[in-house]
Amino acid sequence: MQQKSQKKAELLDNEKPAAVVAPITTGYTVKISNYGWDQSDKFVKIYITLPGVHQVPTENVQVHFTERSFDLLVKNLNGKSYSMIVNNLLKPISVEGSSKKVKTDTVLILCRKKAENTRWDYLTQVEKECKEKEKPSYDTETDPSEGLMNVLKKIYEDGDDDMKRTINKAWVESREKQAKGETEF
């Protein structure tokens, strides 16, 4: 009986792998999409809230800057990594003058403006294009009522069900009044 257990122990010893692989300490990477930003004359400041980020080692919070982008990587925060990549900044930044600060539950990214005392209306070029596409265009050469109809169409297309019902009701009532000859014009 003793010999059998010795043989089993020898077999187990022989089956051990030659090298022990260290376990990976971080799980998956979470993409950061929620942030706030502000600006001063010299900096564009991006605020990212990550509970507990002030407790991770400083080398685990990395930011890489280019003239028109930055990317943030926070490693091993509560068993996960956090990543945020912002490309196509609205205007160029100074790579050397940009930095990061880790505060309580917050990472502050400071992008140094190349052109000081300039105002950024948007953080990225894509955001600017999207917002400006949404603005109704006012063409002075066309019929004013056509412009109003275009605005109403946009409100209708972007509106929720209640907004669509309200616009439909107003349109039907207006048509009924016109049919009866009760126009207010």
Q: What residues pair up with 94 in beta bridges, in sequence order?
A: 112
Whole-structure pTM value: 0.60
User: Range with the lowest mean pLDDT among 69-78, 91-100, 126-135, 164-173?
Assistant: 126-135
Mean pLDDT of 143-168: 79
Asked if the model's pLDDT at residue 117 lies above 70, the reply is: yes
Residue 123 CB neighbours (<10 A): 18
Decide if pLDDT at 174 tops 50: yes
Three-state SS at 139: coil
For the chain, percent of residues with pLDDT exceeding 90 = 50
What is the C-alpha to C-alpha distance for residues 41 and 130, in angstroms, rounded to an integer? Answer: 25
The angle at the Cα of 15, spanning 9 to 16, to the nearest 5 degrees, equals 100
Cα dist. 143→136, 138, 175, 177, 183 in Å?
15, 10, 21, 23, 20
Question: What secondary structure letter does DSSP report for 124?
Answer: B
pLDDT in tens, 32-68: 999 999 999 999 999 999 999 999 999 999 999 999 9
Q: What three-state secondary structure class fits 161?
A: helix
Q: What are phi and psi of 140, to 5 degrees?
A: -75, -15
Distances (CA, A) of 184 to 108, 155, 180, 181: 58, 24, 12, 9
